[in-house]
Amino acid sequence: MGMLYLNLPFSGAEVAGFYRRRIARVFPMYLAVVLASFVIMNFTGTPVLYAVDHSNLAAHLTFFQATSVLWTVPIEVQFYALFGLIWLMFSINRLASILMLLTAIPLLVIMSDTFGGRLFFVSYFMVGLGVSLLPRTSSNASFAVAVALFFAAMPAVSKRLGIDFFDFWKSPLNFAAVALLVQTAISAPLATRTLGSRPARYLGEISYSIYLLHWPVMAQLSRWISYAEHPALYTSLVLAGTLVAATLTYYGIEKPARRLIMTRTERHTNQVVAIT
């Protein structure tokens, strides 16, 4: 995001375009999942998707906070709201903004407990912005190291390695892996061959639906199949079920809604420009 936007002029058209694309990408599927969860929970009393009821519906719809794995979406949206200010600062004084960004990252980590950990996770986005300002590297070795670090930070792996005193998100190993992945994934030839392959591009295209739906698929399958007794079968069914569900919702909800939002807002913008 930093590489795409922080080098562009801060103008009304550019900022509006940024928020239009972010809203079209994030809002429709998330809101569909939240509302479907609420309706199902309200009629059945069972969280088939997520536990969204009258007590927390408003928090979900206003992107204040969310339950289960949905919790990352409000933080992402809150960062997008902040990004406009960061973009403005970079357009005024780039060097001062970089220094403020470098100062903000450790402060967000230190202050996280005071705000229930929410500020800590914003620091991941800040790290992404910081890394986007660095020169690109085409090192295959660095990309391979980043992938290895990322898997080493997985709880099941890190515990086997004796690194079990951090949770996944607050692990410094994961922090380093994410930063290095962002830095190397754009230019490393190995990343291009793997992440840029047709299957990987398709998974990236439906990745948001995969993220939002993988947990309900896992939860429902756990009612019928035990992972401890049938790990291979359970994993295979989760992967297949998630991919099928994500594909259906991507083409049925995500893509049409995104196209509709982009078309309507662009048409409105063009009409305003024509009038002025």
- Which residue intervals of 186-230 are DSSP H helices? 189-194, 198-205, 207-222
Answer with the one of 71, 101, 131 that is the final residue of a domain. Answer: 101
Cα radius of gyration (the chain): 20
User: pTM for this structure?
Assistant: 0.85
Alpha-carbon distance of 193 to 200, in angstroms, equals 10
Answer with the one of 49, 76, 101 that is the final residue of a domain. Answer: 101
Instruction: Output the pLDDT for position 273.
Output: 46
Alpha-carbon distance of 75 to 97, in angstroms, equals 22
Answer with the one of 46, 66, 101 that is the final residue of a domain. Answer: 101
The domain of 8 spans 1-101
Sort 195 into a burial class: Cβ within 10 Å, 0-12 / 13-18 / 19+: middle
* Residue 82 placed within a domain: yes
Residue recorded with tokens 């793997």:
194
Per-run averaged pLDDT (10 residues), the chain, 276 residues: 82 92 96 98 93 96 94 92 92 90 78 59 81 81 86 72 63 75 84 89 96 96 92 95 98 96 73 51
* Residue 256 placed within a domain: yes
Q: How many Cβ atoms from other residues are within 10 Å of residue 130's Cβ? A: 19
* Residue 25 placed within a domain: yes
Query: Considering its fold, how many domains does the chain have in total?
Result: 2
Instruction: Output the pLDDT for position 192.
Output: 86
* Residue 48 placed within a domain: yes
* Residue 248 placed within a domain: yes
Alpha-carbon distance of 186 to 136, in angstroms, equals 8
* Residue 14 placed within a domain: yes
Instruction: Output the pLDDT for position 228.
Output: 87
Instruction: Output the pLDDT for position 268.
Output: 60
